[in-house]
């Protein structure tokens, strides 16, 4: 298994990675652009970060020790890199305007309705499995999206 290593420059210069991360955090918090930065997270110690829900859960779920960086800079609402695009969003922030993605179900045994309930991408596989009356896939962590009609969750569209 390939384990992540520190960049050669840091290792060969015998630098302290914790001091480097501290300097990055301090720089982000003191610069004029700091108004655009909501949080600076040390991914190795994310459990010590004062992140509110749902941001904390999103950071934890998005972390992969083999591919993620050492630090994550979380921007305030309305601040994000367009990636060269002039319009639209990146779907890479925690804000509702960037994470709201329509999910449409149509077909056999799917009743008319809509929901305002929070649904996650991980809920799609278990929902399809439940509709097909088959076992959920291995490693499935989502929950079945409830389709039952009730006044609190669904509004009929007649």
pLDDT digits (tens, 9 = 90+) for 55-65: 998 889 888 88
* pTM given for the model: 0.65
| pLDDT of 2 higher than 50 | no
pLDDT digits (tens, 9 = 90+) for 89-131: 666 777 777 777 788 888 887 888 788 788 888 999 999 999 8
Q: Is 94 exposed, middle or buried (0-12, 13-18, 19+ CB in 10 A)?
A: buried
- Domains of the chain in start order, with CATH, are 14-99 (3.30.1360.150), 102-158 (no CATH)
Write down the mean pLDDT value for the chain: 80
**pLDDT at position 158:** 42
Residue 133 region, left (φ>0) first, then alpha (ψ -120 to 50), else beta? left
């Amino acid at each position: 298994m390939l384990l992540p290593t520190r960049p050669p420059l840091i290792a060969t210069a015998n630098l302290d990675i914790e001091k480097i991360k501290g300097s990055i955090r301090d720089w982000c918090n003191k610069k004029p652009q700091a108004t655009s930065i909501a949080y600076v997270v040390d991914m190795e110690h994310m459990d010590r970060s004062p992140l509110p829900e749902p941001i904390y859960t999103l950071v934890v779920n998005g972390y992969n020790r083999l591919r993620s960086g050492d630090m994550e800079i979380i921007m305030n609402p309305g601040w994000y890199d367009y990636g060269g695009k002039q319009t639209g969003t990146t779907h890479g922030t925690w804000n509702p305007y960037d994470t709201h993605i329509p999910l449409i179900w149509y077909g056999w045994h799917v009743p008319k309705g809509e929901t305002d309930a929070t649904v996650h991408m991980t809920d799609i596989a278990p929902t399809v499995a439940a509709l097909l009356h088959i076992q959920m896939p291995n490693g499935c962590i989502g929950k079945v999206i409830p389709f039952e009609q009730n006044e609190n969750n669904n509004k009929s569209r007649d």
